[in-house]
A and B are shown apart, each in its own frame.
Chain A
Amino acid sequence: MSKTFKIGGIHPHDNKISVNAAIEDFPVMERAFISMSQHLGAPAEPVVVKGDKVKTGQLIAKSSGFISANVHSSVSGTVHSIEMMPDLAGNLAQHIVINVEGDEWMEGIDRSPEIMREIILSSQEIIDRIAQCGVVGLGGAAFPTHIKLSPPPGKKAEFLLVNGAECEPYLTSDYRIMVENSEEILIGVKLMMSALGVKKSYLGIEENKPKAIKRMKEIASKGYPEIKIVSLKKRYPQGGEKQLIDAIVGRQVPSMGLPIDVGVVVQNVGTALAVYEAVQKNKPLFEGVVTVTGKCMPEQRNFRMRVGTTFESMIFAVGGFPKGAEKLVSGGPMMGKAVSRIEAASVKSTSALLLLTEEETKRGEESNCIRCAKCVDACPMGLEPYLLNRLSRANRLEDLEENMVHDCIECGSCLYVCPADIPLLDTIRLSKGKVLKIIRSRPKK
Chain B
Amino acid sequence: MTATIIFTIASLTILGLVLALILYFTAQKFKVVEDPRIDEVETILPGANCGGCGYTGCRAFAEGCVNSESMDGLFCPVGGNDVMKKVAEYLGRTVAEKVPQVAVVRCNGNCDSRPKSNNYDGYTSCAVMASLYAGDTDCRYGCLGQGDCELSCEFDAIKMNPRTGLPEVDEEKCTACGACVKACPKMIIELRNKGPKGKRIFVSCINKDKGGVARKACAVACIGCTKCQKVCAYDAITITSNLAYIDYNKCKLCRKCVVECPTNAIWEVNFPVRVPKKVVAEVEKQ
Contacts and interface: CB of A to CB of B under 8 A. Distances in A.
Q: Do they bind each other?
A: yes
Contacts of A89: 132-134
Interface in B122-142: 122-123, 125, 127-128, 131-136, 138, 140
A341 interface: yes
Interface centre among A361, A362, A423 (most CB of B within 10 A): A423
B131 A340 contact: no
B128 A430 contact: yes
Nearest to B136: A340
A320 interface: no
Contacts, number: 44
A338 interface: yes
A94 to B, nearest CB: 15
B118 interface: yes
B121 interface: yes
Contact of A430 (B127, B136, B138): B127
A429 B125 CA distance: 13
A213 to B, nearest CB: 36
Interface string A335-356: 0001011000000000000000
A426 B128 contact: yes
A101 to B, nearest CB: 27
B134 A430 contact: no
A110 B131 CA distance: 42
A394 to B, nearest CB: 12
A91 B133 CA distance: 7
B135 to A, nearest CB: 6
A433 B127 CA distance: 11
A42 B117 CA distance: 29
Contacts of A429: 128, 131
Interface centre among A91, A361, A427, A430 (most CB of B within 10 A): A430
B242 to A, nearest CB: 13
B128 A362 contact: no
Counting chain A residues whose Cβ lies within 8 A of the other chain, the interface size class is: 10 to 19
Nearest to A424: B123
A86 B122 contact: no
Contact of A423 (B122, B127, B136): B122
Contacts of A362: 121
A341 B138 CA distance: 9
Contacts of B117: 340-341
Nearest to B130: A430
Contacts of B132: 89, 338
Contacts of B128: 423, 426-427, 429-430
A335 to B, nearest CB: 13
Interface in B151-170: none
Contact of B134 (A86, A423, A426, A427): A86
Contact of B122 (A92, A341, A426): A426
Interface centre among A86, A338, A340, A433 (most CB of B within 10 A): A340
A340 B118 contact: yes
A363 interface: yes
Contacts of B118: 340-341
B115 to A, nearest CB: 14
A90 interface: yes
A196 B131 CA distance: 36
Contacts of B135: 90
A433 B128 CA distance: 11
Given A91-B140, A361-B121, A423-B122, A338 B127 contact: no
Interface centre among B118, B125, B135, B140 (most CB of A within 10 A): B118
A89 B117 CA distance: 12
Interface string A77-109: 000000000100111100000000000000000
B125 to A, nearest CB: 7
Interface in A392-445: 423, 426-427, 429-430, 433
A90 B127 contact: no
Interface string B82-114: 000000000000000000000000000000000
A426 B121 CA distance: 12
Nearest to B127: A430
Interface in A143-186: none
Contacts of B122: 363, 423, 426
Contacts of A340: 117-118, 133-134, 136
Nearest to B140: A90
A225 to B, nearest CB: 46
Contact of B140 (A92, A363, A433): A92
Contact of A426 (B123, B133, B138, B140): B123
Interface centre among B133, B135, B138 (most CB of A within 10 A): B133
Given A91-B140, A430-B127, A430-B128, A363 B121 contact: yes
B207 to A, nearest CB: 13
Interface in B44-65: none
A362 B122 CA distance: 9
Interface string A53-89: 0000000000000000000000000000000001001
A91 B135 CA distance: 9
A443 to B, nearest CB: 25
Given A362-B121, A426-B122, A427-B123, A91 B134 contact: yes
Interface centre among A89, A90, A361, A363 (most CB of B within 10 A): A90
Contacts of B121: 361-363
A423 B123 CA distance: 6
Contacts of A361: 121
B188 to A, nearest CB: 17
B89 to A, nearest CB: 37
B180 to A, nearest CB: 16
Contacts of B138: 90
Contacts of A363: 121-122
A158 B149 CA distance: 52
Contacts of B131: 429-430, 433
Nearest to B128: A426
A338 B123 contact: no
Task: Please provide the 5 A-B residue pairs with the shortest distance between their CB atoms, ordered closest to farther.
Answer: A90-B134, A423-B123, A89-B133, A426-B123, A340-B118
14 contacts: A86-B134, A90-B134, A91-B133, A91-B134, A340-B117, A340-B136, A341-B117, A341-B118, A426-B122, A427-B125, A427-B128, A430-B125, A430-B131, A433-B131
Interface of A: 86, 89-92, 338, 340-341, 361-363, 423, 426-427, 429-430, 433
Given A86-B140, A340-B133, A362-B121, 13 more contacts: A89-B133, A90-B133, A91-B133, A338-B132, A341-B118, A361-B121, A363-B121, A363-B122, A423-B122, A426-B123, A427-B128, A430-B125, A430-B128
